[in-house]
Chains A and B, each alone.
Chain A
Amino acid sequence: MSIKLRLTSLFMSIALSAALLSGCYDINEIEDLAYVIAIGIDKADEKNFTLTFQTAVPKSIAGGEGESIDIRTFRTDNFLSGLKKASEYLDRRINLSHTKIIVVSEEIAKEGIMAFLNGLQQNIELRPNVNIIVASEGAQKYIESIQPKLSSSPAKHYALLFKSYETDFLVKDTQLEDYLYRAKNHVTQPVAIYTSIDKSIGDTSEASEKEDKKSEEDSKKAGGEEKDKSKEKEEAMAIKGLAVFQMDKMVGTLNRDEAMLFSLLTSTENRNMEIIDPLDNRFKVLGNITKSRSSSTKAIVKDGKPQIDITLKLNVDVKAVQSDNDYDEPEKAAKLEAAYEQYLHKGIMALLNKTTKELKSDIFGFSQQAKRSFKTIGEWEKANWQEIFPKSEYNLKIKVDIRRQS
């Protein structure tokens, strides 16, 4: 090769290696990162907050089967510097791309958590389906109390946990993306999962205690699932219901029954519900409720007052009857239907009143329906849903249809 060609190729190879090596600052080996699974935010004193990070520790370091978790708590005055501090204590860089939950303590929720959420929103690593949980006892306690016994990794634990909650009430709506959207705009108001430690459940590691807990939990909840008793029932934290927000401040809670009714109104999944047996007051009847497609919600704004018509057509599959009554016979079935309708009507009206008049926040999403009657965005914004919602009037029609008895 001639000298010129040789010099040119030398120069090109140097340039190429320089180009390839100079820019890749972004290479992160998998094991160089610390994966945070849960973030907790507590109030420490006036201006400071305590941040709790639960990170997954890989198998080979922890020893034994499965990963274990490492929980650390830092005091800081804002969220972003807390993240940085955490990186100093752990010898790896924090990576939020596998975070599953964000836990906020109730005090902070009442003051407004916008500062945190704004800081988190731009962080592109966070998944949009991170769940937000409000813990009445404090975030740190909640995180520390989670002891996954049947899952080998805490991440899997959370994922399965929320899947099982989805059949009870709406975990979907409590995700970060929805939360952020709702918190900033005057439309549907956000909700979050509300938990508190259930003190009646003691520490558990033996099988017999698990049985006790199970029966206790069954009687606590408004309806339990019969099949698939998932492993997640055995923790010490119990979901109490949903926390209701107005913009970014928490204004109240819904207990389990109300949360169940809330999910009945707004989603299409099956729910298990039990009511008192109409023919025998000592026992209960368990039924699986499905909302049929012809249920509808209509909302219009008339004279500055929203007029909301809700029609619910429900199908009930009777799953378990504790008494000896046979609900296949038509009269008994009619009685059961009436009982369901009455129970639901009462519950839903109470819930609607509570959210409209007391909490004044539209968590159901009626605003989405009301939007339809407006022609342009300008008109809609002039109507100012936020102000007129507390004046809304409801018109509720429920029709229950017993389908079959198992």
Chain B
Amino acid sequence: MKNKIGFGSWEATTLLVNLVFANIMLVFPRDMVQLGGSAGWMIPVIITLIAAGYFAITVKLYNNIGSMDLLDISDCIGGRIFKVIIGLLITIFLILTASIYLGAFSQTLKIISLDRSSLEYVEVLFLAGMTAAAYFGVEAIARISAFLVPAVIIGFLLITVGVIPEFRMNNLFPVMGEGALEILKGSGVRLSVFAMFVILFLMVPFFKKQLLKKVGFSYVLLSGILLIWSTLSFILVFPYEMAADKKIPVFQIARHMDFGNYIQRIESISVLISSICALIFLGAVFNFVIYVFAKTLDLKQSKPLILPMAIIVFSLSIISKRVKFDFLGDSITNIIWLLGMVLPLIIIIIGAAKKVGTEGTRRHK
């Protein structure tokens, strides 16, 4: 292998796709149906196209930048102060993401199988996986996602293929669902599912710049296909009136699998899939929290940060569960999540305008 500390394009792609896939496993199809009715499948199409356009713009701008990630760019733009601000912003953003998703995953799992255990117990288990991932470093997480994420996606596809006998084409009608306006509004709000572009731009130093285009476009393409297919299969199985009641979409789809007398109720396979997806998601996001924090403040050692950060994430997620506010589904929070796409765009535009990369590297590289 040529890279010593890096990883290849496949690992990066699967890591990012997993970040979108976690959203699918939690709420995405249901939200689509709530926003767009029976035409909810159009929203992922629009979202994917917008994301692809966004990425095409940013990668073109990256020609001027070279192999630097967001923090380096902000360093070159505004010096240390700017870098610290941006770095802290990104850290807080990722910590909030991690804690909200941690709470959501534990809640989902509690509903499905671990009914009577306390929420904290389930969260501690996820936390253990998260901190272990942080101890091993970004390369380890990227490497295992190279073969675990395809397995997870294949499991998910098998679930959706297994309910094909239950597909009813009539569920797609009325064709325009809630109406074109609602669909567009929904797609604007739900673009937040691609909020993890910020992690893509943080990963750039790990693989070479020429791979950036390939990684980004395959990420958008694969996520788009998964989003569209999951929404389609969800709508085809459940008519739009019922869909709003299904709190955990993929699990509910899996409940309908019925082959003969013996393969029934294997929806616990979806527990396995969503646990693995959750662990890799949390591990990756948390890893980047530590990495960004250490890089922002130019710390030499990042390992001592892990346990305190883990405790912060844990407490935040417990607090968020007490508040009883549906973070993942609410429109306002989704718009805030769009920050994950807007912020890198701004920084990259400024960086490209200043032609940061062509002036050679500065001291912080």
Q: Does B242 lie within 8 Å of A181, measured CB to CB?
A: yes
* Interface residue tally for chain A (C-beta within 8 Å): 30
Please tell me if the beta carbons of B113 and A377 are within 8 angstroms of each other in the complex: no
Contact of B122 among A23, A129, A184 (CB under 8 A): A23
Any A CB within 8 A of the CB of B326: no
Quick check: is A327 within 8 A (CB to CB) of the other chain?
no
For B240, what are the chain A residues with a Cβ–Cβ distance below 8 Å?
Answer: 377
Interface residues of B, dominant DSSP: loop
Check B241 against A371 for contact (C-beta < 8 Å).
no
Q: Does A80 contact B (CB under 8 A)?
A: no
> Which chain A residues border B177 with CB–CB below 8 Å?
376-377
**How many whole Å from B324's CB to the nearest CB in chain A?**
18
Within 8 A of A (CB), among B183-214: none
Are B121 and A23 interface neighbours, CB within 8 A?
yes
Question: How would residues 116 to 150 of chain A score, 1 for a CB under 8 Å from any chain B CB and 0 otherwise?
Answer: 00000000100111000000000000000000000
| B112 sits at the interface (CB 8 A) | yes
Contacting residues, chain B, for A124 (C-beta < 8 A): 111-112
Question: Of A26, A184, A372, which one neighbours B241 at CB under 8 angstroms?
Answer: A184
Chain A residues in 8 Å Cβ range of B175? 372, 375
Give complex CA distance A159, B262 in Å: 11
From 86 to 142 in chain B, residues with beta carbon under 8 angstroms from any chain A beta carbon are 111-118, 121-122, 124-125
- A166-187 residues at the B interface, CB under 8 angstroms: 177, 180-181, 184-185, 187
Known A372-B170, A377-B240: A127·B38 in contact at CB below 8 Å: no
- Tell me if A25 counts as interface (CB < 8 A to partner B): yes
A369–B170 CB distance below 8 A: yes
- Please give, as numbers and ranges, the residues of chain A lying within 8 Å of B239 by CB-CB distance: 181, 185, 187
From B111, B174, B255, give the contact of A371 (CB < 8 A): B174
The residue of chain A having its C-beta at the shortest distance from the C-beta of B178 within the complex is: A377
Q: Does B60 have its Cβ within 8 Å of any Cβ on chain A?
A: no
B265 at the interface (CB under 8 A from A): yes
> CA–CA, A24 to B265, complex, Å?
22
Assess whether A22 is interfacial by the CB under 8 Å rule: yes
Q: Which of A26, A159, A184, A380 contacts B117 (CB 8 A)?
A: A26
Shortest Cβ distance from A87 into chain B, in angstroms? 14
- Do B179 and A19 touch across chains, with their CB atoms under 8 A apart? no
Q: Are B174 and A159 in contact (CB under 8 A)?
A: no
A25 to B122, CA, bound (A): 11
Q: Does A374 count as interface, using CB distance less than 8 angstroms?
A: yes
Give the residue of B116, B124, B173, B264 whose beta carbon is less than 8 angstroms from that of A26: B116
A26 CA to B170 CA, complexed, in Å: 40
Chain A proximity of B335: nearest CB distance (Å): 24
Q: How many residues of B contact A (CB 8 A)?
A: 33
Q: Which residues of B contact A369 (CB under 8 A)?
A: 170
Nearest-Cβ distance from residue B98 to partner chain A, whole angstroms: 20
Q: Are A374 and B174 in contact (CB under 8 A)?
A: yes
Is A368 engaged at the interface, CB distance under 8 Å to the other chain? yes
Q: Tell me, rounded to whole Å, the shortest Cβ–Cβ distance linking A159 to chain B.
A: 6
Q: How far is the CB of A36 from chain B (nearest CB, A)?
A: 15
Contacts of A159 in B (CB 8 A): 261
Are B118 and A23 within 8 A (Cβ)?
yes
- What's the Cα separation between A148 and B239 when bound, in Å? 37
Q: Which of A20-37 contact B (CB under 8 A)?
A: 22-26
In the assembled complex, the Cα of A379 lies from the Cα of B173 at a distance in Å of 12
Interface centre among A24, A374, A377 (most CB of B within 10 A): A377
Q: A25 and B38: CB pair below 8 A?
A: no
- Across the interface, A377 reaches (CB within 8 A) one of B37, B111, B170, B256, namely B37
Contact for A185 among B113, B122, B242, B261, CB less than 8 A: B242
Determine the chain B residues whose CB is within 8 A of the CB of A22 once the complex forms.
121
CA–CA, A184 to B240, complex, Å?
12
List, in ascending order, chain A residues with CB within 8 A of B178's CB. 376-378
Q: Which of A129, A177, A377 contacts B174 (CB 8 A)?
A: A377
Contact B264 A127 (CB under 8 A): yes
Q: What does the 1/0 interface line of B8-32 toward A look like (CB < 8 Å)?
A: 0000000000000000000000000
A contact set with B: CB distance below 8 Å: 19, 22-26, 97, 124, 127-129, 159, 177, 180-181, 184-185, 187, 365, 368-369, 371-372, 374-380
| Known A181-B239, A368-B170; further 17 A-B contacts with Cβ < 8 A | A19-B121, A23-B122, A24-B117, A26-B114, A128-B256, A129-B258, A185-B239, A185-B241, A371-B174, A372-B170, A374-B173, A375-B176, A376-B179, A377-B37, A377-B178, A378-B178, A380-B174
The 17 sampled A-B contact pairs (Cβ below 8 Å) are A19-B124, A23-B117, A23-B124, A25-B116, A26-B113, A26-B116, A124-B111, A127-B264, A128-B256, A181-B239, A185-B242, A368-B168, A371-B174, A375-B175, A376-B177, A376-B179, A377-B178
10 closest Cβ contacts across the A-B interface? A23-B121, A368-B170, A25-B116, A185-B241, A374-B174, A371-B173, A377-B37, A372-B173, A376-B179, A23-B117
